[in-house]
Every structure is written in C-alpha cells, then in structure tokens.
Structure 1
Amino acid sequence: MRLLVIGGCGLVGSMVVPVLARSHEVAVLDLKEPRTAVSGVDYHTGGLHDVELVASLASDVDSLVFMAMGPLAGWGSQENARQHFDIAVGGLYLALTGAAKAGVRHAVYTSSMSVYPYEELTGMVTFPDESVPPSATDFYGLAKRLGEEVCRTATERWDMDTVCLRLCFPAADDEWPRGDTEMKRAISTSARDVAAAIEAGLHRRGHGFDAYAISGDASGRTMSIEKARRELGWTPRDAT
C-alpha cells in the first residue's frame, strides 16, 4: 500500500515506520526531522493543520496513519493541554479533511486506552472492553476520546473507514515491557506488536468506524483484547 503517516517522527512513529516501510510505500509528514531517516521513506516537514499540504501528499494514498500527539514537556500544564487538544481534535479533523479531499477513504488513528478512567485495585487496574463508551475526563484521555469522535465523524461525512487503535504504553522492542508499576508493565506493548496492529488495521476495510484495545496483556488479567483477535486477527507476539 501507499501510506501517509502523520507524526511519523514522534515516539510511536519512530518505532513503527521502519517496520511499515518494509512492506509499504511510506511518506511521512511531521514538524520535526526524523531522528534516524529510514531508507525509502519520503519525509516532508510541515504542519498537519495545512489541509492543502495534506491533500497534496495524500494523492493516490491507500490509507492515512495518524500518530501525531502533543508534547511530553510541560505535561498537564494549561499550554500543554491546549497543544494536545489542538493536535488530537482540530489537527486530526483538518488532516482527515485533507485526506478526504484527496480521495482517501481509510485511516488508522493511534488512540489510547487512556480514553477510559481506571480504578486502582491493589496496584492493578481493570479496564472496560470496547462495548463501554469512553469516559475519561483528564486532558489527555479526553483529547484522545474526542479524537475518536473526529474519526467517527469522518466515517459519517466522507464514508471513510476509520480504525482507532487504543495503544497501551508502546515500548521499543529492547525496552519492553515498560512501566514503573505492575499495571503499566502488564499492559505495555512492544513496538513490533504495535506495528503489527497498525498493519492489521490497514486491512480492516468496509466496516466504517471501530475501535480496538491493543495491549501486551494477552492473558486478559487487566484488559480484554478479544475484539482485536476476532476482528483484526491480531494478538501480541510479546505478551505479559
């Protein structure tokens, strides 16, 4: 496939673009230069709010992969929260507008399991499955779940298939499992498994909007990935 990856130079993008580039023709749009350029990947420096730029890069593209997110620096400050909403809501909407203008009818959005709040249970947590509507109210979780609503709107407005992958603590393969608590390590997902989930999402077509929990917790102690197994044919190779 031909893919346009928005945010491909960020934390998650830097881990998965090299994997996607093995099988697909990949173009990346990001405000930043790549830390290490991947051979064969066509990098473009620019903003995701530029509808015409996105439309020009999305010409003849099979899918838009959206991995952009707000910065980690200043986490939780007013300015930081504004930046997260600006990217996950307004930026995503404009990027999908550009893609739709170019005729793209498929997108994969890297969402987060942070769309759900969670209760601490003796150091662990239990997440609801996809049948439960997201309800997070913190700035990051709310931004991500509003991003999912933008994807749902793209399905309704442009008849676009939008696949939302709710990622859990993505980690470089040599650093997996990652996390400073038992819960975080239990649900952490390796880079190659995140890439495999995106690959599976690229092939999920003709079903409109949908969302999937993506986690290394194959045992289901903390969350269920049964829907991803059933509908995407995805299961983690690196499982806790």
Structure 2
Amino acid sequence: MRLLVVGGCGLVGAMVLPHLVAAHEIRVLDLAAPAGPVPGVRYHAGDLHDVDLVASLAEGVDSLVYLAMGPKRDWGSPATARAHLDVAVPGMYATLTGVHRAGVTHLVYTSSMSVYRYPLDGDHPPPDQEPPADERIGRYPDETTPPDAGDFYGLAKRLGEEVCRTATVGYGMDAVCLRLCFPTAEDEWPRRGTAMQRAIATSARDVAAAIDAALARRGRGFDVYAISGDASERAMSLAKAKRELGWAPRDPTA
C-alpha cells in the first residue's frame, strides 16, 4: 500500500519503518528530521496542523498511519502536557481534515494502554509471600471497558481515539486504534524493568506486524485493539486482536 506516516521520525516510527517499508511505499511527514533515515522512505519536513500540506502529501495514499505524539522532555510539565494534547486533538483533527480532502478513507492510530489508569492489582499470595511492588503484575481491562485515564498522556491518547471515532462518523473513514504497550527496539527486547514492564513490552517487529494487520482491516468503521508483548496474557487479553486482526505477539520464552 501507499502510506502517509505522520510522526514517522519519532521513537515508534524509527522502530517500525524498517519493517513496514519492505511491503509498502511510505511517505513521512514530521517536524523533525530522521535520526537515521530508512532507505526507501520519502521524508517531508512540515507541520501536521498544515491542512494543505497534509492534503498534498496524502494524494494517492491508501492509508494514514498516525504515530505523532508530544515530547518526552520535561515529562509532566504544563508545556509538555499541552504539546501532547495539541498533537492528539487539534493536530489529529487537522491531519484527518487534510487526508479526507485527498480522498483517504482509512487510518491507523497508535494509541496506548495508558488510556486506562494503572491496572488493578491481580490476585496476590499471602502477605508474607507477596513479591515487592515492582514484581507484581496487575491486569488491564479489555476493550469493552471505557478508558478512564486522567493523567495528561493517557488523556491525550483517549482524546485522540475520540477524534478518530468522529472521523468515522463525519468522514466515513475506517479508524483502527492500536493500544500499544512499551514499544521496544529489537536489540533491547525482551525489555528490562519491573515485572509489569517486562510482561507487556512489545518488540518493534510485533508493533510493525500489528500496524500491518490494521492496514488490512477495512469496512468496519471505528475500533480499538490491545497490542502487547504479553504472549501469556497475564496482564491483559489479546483475544480481540487475535480474532479480528489475526495478530499475536511472539513468545519471548519460545
């Protein structure tokens, strides 16, 4: 397919583009230059709020892949919160306006399981046998539970999903929202960290495969999918992605 990838020079873009470019023709729109350009990808510097620019780049495109997010620096500051919300709402709205003008009818949005508050604790052994807090694994709700995050990042992702949902109503687009968990470069996966981080971190190859599967999911309007490296499904159910996208993560223990 011909893809317009918005935010393709960021963390997730750098991970997945080397995998996606093998099967797709890719144009990237990003304010930043790529740290390491991926051969075969066409990069364009520009602002996703520029509807005319987005429309011109989206001509002849089969799908929009929206990877854009705010900065990691000064995490939690008002300026960073504002940037994340700006990318997720007015930025997403402007981008969808542009691609709709160009006739694009399909989009993939990389959302996050952070749309939920930290997961409820799972069943624990007796107190004298309970592991330290960083070794506990809670459980996230499945896709039937409405998102409830209130922190700026989770809220931004929640609102981004709602802008996608609006596009399915107003523009008749198909919108596939992938709720990612700790995308991790291949050479760093399986991930280190807490038990929860290790359980749900998703390799770059698996994230790219989820995007590829979402590109093929058409004609069903808006939907959301949990995407995680949690092959054993200790922290969340991946049944919907397996059933409807034909996607499942690799088992790091296999």
Matching residue of 2:143: 130
After TM superposition, which residue ranges in structure 1, 4 or more long, deviate above 6 angstroms? none
* 1:158-197 superposed matches below 5 A: 158-197=171-210
Matched, 1:69 2:82: no
Q: Which moved more, 1:3-12 or 1:35-44?
A: 35-44
Alpha-carbon separation, structure 2, partners of 1:218 and 1:39: 31
1:49, distance to aligned residue in structure 2 (A): 0.4
Cα displacement string for residues 107-162 of structure 1 (whole angstroms, at most 9, x for unaligned residues): 00000000001246352211000000111111100000000000000000000000
The answer as to whether partners of 1:217 and 1:239 remain within 8 angstroms in 2 is no
The answer as to whether partners of 1:108 and 1:201 remain within 8 angstroms in 2 is yes
Alpha-carbon separation, structure 2, partners of 1:206 and 1:16: 25
The answer as to whether partners of 1:27 and 1:43 remain within 8 angstroms in 2 is yes
The answer as to whether partners of 2:71 and 2:84 remain within 8 angstroms in 1 is yes
The answer as to whether partners of 1:55 and 1:98 remain within 8 angstroms in 2 is yes
Alpha-carbon separation, structure 1, partners of 2:90 and 2:59: 22
Aligned-partner SS, 2:59: coil
Alpha-carbon separation, structure 2, partners of 1:120 and 1:107: 31
Alpha-carbon separation, structure 2, partners of 1:81 and 1:23: 35
Alpha-carbon separation, structure 1, partners of 2:145 and 2:181: 17
Alpha-carbon separation, structure 2, partners of 1:36 and 1:219: 34
Aligned-partner SS, 1:111: strand
Matching residue of 1:10: 10
In the comparison of the two structures, how many residue pairs are matched? 240
Matching residue of 2:80: 80
Alpha-carbon separation, structure 1, partners of 2:193 and 2:54: 38
Structure 1: give runs of 5+ residues left out of the alignment: none
1:219, distance to aligned residue in structure 2 (A): 1.1
* 1:147-158 superposed matches below 5 A: 147-158=160-171
Cα displacement string for residues 1-44 of structure 1 (whole angstroms, at most 9, x for unaligned residues): 00000000000000101111110100000011111111111100
| 2:137 aligned partner, one-letter code | M
The answer as to whether partners of 2:210 and 2:227 remain within 8 angstroms in 1 is yes
The answer as to whether partners of 2:65 and 2:109 remain within 8 angstroms in 1 is yes
Alpha-carbon separation, structure 2, partners of 1:74 and 1:3: 32
Taking only aligned residues, the RMSD between alpha carbons, in angstroms, comes to 1.1
TM-score by length of 2: 0.92
* 1:80-99 superposed matches below 5 A: 80-99=80-99
Alpha-carbon separation, structure 2, partners of 1:95 and 1:18: 24
Matched, 1:220 2:233: yes
Aligned-partner SS, 1:107: strand
TM-score by length of 1: 0.98
Matching residue of 2:242: 229
* 1:53-64 superposed matches below 5 A: 53-64=53-64
Matched, 1:41 2:41: yes
